[in-house]
Structure 1
Amino acid sequence: MTRLFLSVDFEDFAHDLKRLLGVWETGPLRVEELWQSFETIDGFLRSHGGSTSCAATFFCTGVVARDAPDLVAEIAKRGHEVACHYYFHDSMDLQSAETIDRMLGQARQALEEAGNTPVRGFRAPRFRLNRATPEQYRLIERHFDYDCSSFFASAQECDRFSREMGLTTLRILPLFMTPLAVKGPMVRLGGSYLKFMTSDLAGKLIERSEQAGIAPQVYLHPYEIVEPQSFMVSMDELAALGSAKAAYWVLRQSQWLNFGGARLLRKVEGLIPAGGLAGRLDQLVGE
């Protein structure tokens, strides 16, 4: 029987972009917009997720728990899994081991206190980890039961990587990646790739993922769910960059925020198996 998991990288696009560009202290989190996106996703799951599988996994950043603890509490209250998306939405592959260990610990504590629930899973921002050495995976292993930051073409490839990293307790729950054709470009099941690909192609990738032994999942972001302008960072907020760079980043945001989001939930609806969604990712790990 076909399965499909849904996860959400629950982050504030505007805050994270401003932090990336060095102007992140120009305003608070857009909590109202995060609430709106959560209510929309939760409503979608209750309408289309299936009679027994309307829960999903929300990978929340620690700053969301810090500034909107009642929102994280509500996510947990409604039966969804609260997982960790680091503290800030920073690229971990560029950070020291000391910083990563501290941020992982702070994020997990903030999320567990806000949600009043154990936090077992982790996904790295932008899926960026240093995969050349085991150091960052072992830091994740210190804090979490599973990691959902890596793409593989088969379960065997994932298992081999886990052994090479020397992991003993951390379970890697991979996302599926495959070439479209022999020597063709690699595509991922979820995220921006899902916005670009046709529903037929996405359905085929779900089938190929199961055949490869990888539990199929697609992932969403809050900025793909609400009105695109809700998470837009304005020219005024970017003024410190200078007019040329500010204009460039407004254009880049338009590309990210406007393309495909309005149709995304309808596309996901068409991919849901007859029996509904498979539920929370922690179900794949067990107790």
Structure 2
Amino acid sequence: MKAKTLSASSFKAPIVKANALSGTFAFTVDVEEWFQVGAFETTFTKADWPSLESRVELQTLKLLDFMRGASIKGTFFCLGWVAEKYPSLLKAIVNDGHEIACHGLDHDRLFTMSKADFKADIQRSKGAIEDVTGVTVIGYRAPSFSLTPNVWWVYDLLDSEGFKYSSSLYPVKTDHYGMESAPRAPFYPANSSIVEIPMTVCDVPFRRLPASGGGYFRLMPYWLSRYLLRNGAKQSSAPAIFYMHPWEMDTDQPYVKEAPLLSRFRHYQGQARLPAKLTRLAKDFSWGRMQDIYENILTEVKVGK
């Protein structure tokens, strides 16, 4: 089936407003097991998961320790799968003052699901997170930034299940994800009251680069990542968003020699240097939670939906 493309009618006017916490960027974490990542999707199946070493609790607690020491508050997009298996971990995240949000149930990409599948996915994952933490979940991030024009209907279902914002689009084209035609500033998708808060990109001569971190932060020299974050925020007139995964700090995780070479490079390269880079990042920018930075947008009452 030919992929759809987005037209200007897919968006309402982008929102460009000063954030409530002037100068603060969003620190976000996608909480998932090391073996649930896209890099290993051709190596492991869900049937393999029970036989693999679980390290998400150890990894996330290590990251929480770092953030506590660096005085960073952030937003943790958690899989419902993790909430069901490690409820004490989610309680620890909330007890440290972080926002808890939803990353889907078990990291299925959106374009692999029907509307019924997606509704069941977010109902179960959101419910599991809320039952464990006692906190109302308002934020959602699609696994692997897999929100494409073919599944634009997810916004209606997110709205119906009580979400207020999504951070599921990366306005850049890579071989793994991206929607370059999407706005760079927060926007309301047409006919939706959900706010989409895109990841940060930076235009440099002749190309656009991802600026929000992830594997790029591990692979790029720190000075370049800092430049892209700062200038990407200026170009979009919106606070930058940084993201990472707990497994990125774990140099003792299993090495999957069966995975393709490129997948192994993406997953493992730069892990040993990451703590030092994060320490510099914590000093160079002010960091906060998505729900606080975008509070003025999220509390708006939408008229004429």
Assess same fold via TM > 0.5.
yes
Aligned equivalents of 2:196, 2:82: Cα separation in 1: 25
Is 1:149 equivalent to 2:175 in the alignment? no
Task: State which of 224, 239, 251 in structure 1 corresponds to 2:248.
Answer: 224
Residue identity in the other structure for 2:214: G
Counterpart CA distance in 1 for 2:186 and 2:62 is 39
Q: Tell me the residue number matched to 2:55.
A: 33
Q: Which residue number in structure 2 is paired with residue 135 of structure 1?
A: 153
Indicate the SS of the match to 2:30. Answer: strand
2:4 is matched with: none
Cα pair 2:34 2:55 within 8 Å, conserved: no
Question: In structure 2, do the counterparts of structure 1 residues 213 and 266 end up closer, same or farther at CA, with 3 Å as the change threshold?
Answer: same
Task: Report the Cα offset of residue 27 of structure 1.
Answer: 4.1
Please state whether the residue corresponding to 1:129 is helix, strand or coil: coil
* Matches of 1:15 and 1:29, distance apart in 2: 13
- What does 1:58-77 align with in structure 2 at a 5 Å threshold? 58-77=76-95
Task: Find out whether 1:191 has 2:214 as its counterpart.
Answer: yes
* 2:276 maps to which of 231, 256, 266: 266
Mean CA deviation greater in 262-271 or 92-101: 262-271
How many residue pairs match? The answer is: 264
What is the TM-score normalised by the length of structure 1? Answer: 0.81
| 8 Å CA contact 2:211, 2:225 repeated in 1 | no
Q: Secondary structure at the match of 1:5?
A: strand
Which of 6, 31, 47 is matched with 1:10 structurally?
Answer: 31
Contact persistence 1:61–1:86 (CA under 8 A): yes
Mean Cα deviation higher: 78-87 or 199-208? 199-208
User: Is 1:95 the counterpart of 2:113 in the alignment?
Assistant: yes
The 1-side partners of 2:116 and 2:26 are apart by: 33
Q: What is the DSSP-based 3-state SS (H/G/I as helix, E as strand, rest coil) of the residue aligned with 2:56?
A: helix
**Alignment counterpart, residue 172 of structure 1, candidates 196, 206, 215:** 196
Q: Residue 188 of structure 2: SS of its match in structure 1?
A: helix
**Corresponding residue of 1:255:** 265
Q: Contact 1:3 / 1:278 at 8 angstroms: preserved in 2?
A: yes
- CA gap of 1:11–1:160, structure 2 versus 1, over 3 A, is closer
Counterpart of 1:282 in structure 2: which amino acid?
Q
Task: Give the Å deviation of 1:151.
Answer: 2.5
Q: Runs of 5+ in structure 1 lacking a partner?
A: 236-246
Separation in 2, partners of 1:74, 1:91: 27
Greater percentage in helix = 1
Structure 1 CA distance for aligned equivalents of residues 208 and 294 of structure 2: 31
Partners of 1:31 and 1:145 lie apart in 2 by 35
Distance in 1 between the 2:186 and 2:245 partners? 30
Summarize the Cα distance change of 1:254–1:83 in structure 2 as closer, same or farther, 3 Å threshold: same
- Quickly say closer, same or farther: Cα 1:97–1:4, change in 2 above 3 A: same
The amino acid across from 2:129 in the alignment is L
Letter in 2 for 1:114: V
Percentage identity across aligned positions? 23
Give the match for residue 240 of structure 1. none
Task: Tell me how large the CA RMSD over aligned residues is.
Answer: 2.8
8 A contact 1:12–1:30 mirrored in 2:
no
1:180-223 Cα offsets, whole Å, 9 max, x none, are: 32x32533321111122221111212221331212112111122
TM score, norm. by length of structure 2: 0.76
- Which SS does the other structure have where 1:204 is aligned? helix
1:180/1:231 CA distance change after superposition, 3 Å: farther
Q: Counterpart of 2:242 in 1: which secondary structure?
A: strand
* Alpha-carbon distance between aligned partners in 2 of 1:12 and 1:175, rounded to the nearest angstrom: 22
2:19 maps to: none
- Output the amino acid matched with 1:223: W
The range that moved more, 40-49 or 20-29, is 20-29
Q: Kindly indicate whether the alpha-carbon contact (under 8 Å) linking 2:28 and 2:74 is maintained by their aligned counterparts in 1.
A: yes
Distance 1:231 1:281, change over 3 A: farther
The one of 134, 138, 145 equivalent to 1:116 is 134
Q: Deviations over 1:36-70 (max 9, x none)?
A: 21222111112223xxxx32111100100111111
TM-superposed deviation, 1:264: 1.7
Whole-Å Cα distance in 2 between the matches of residues 41 and 277 of structure 1?
17
Structure 2: give runs of 5+ residues left out of the alignment: 1-21, 173-179, 300-305
Does the CA-based 8 Å contact 1:84-1:122 persist in structure 2?
Answer: yes
Residue 5 of structure 1 aligns to which amino acid in structure 2? A
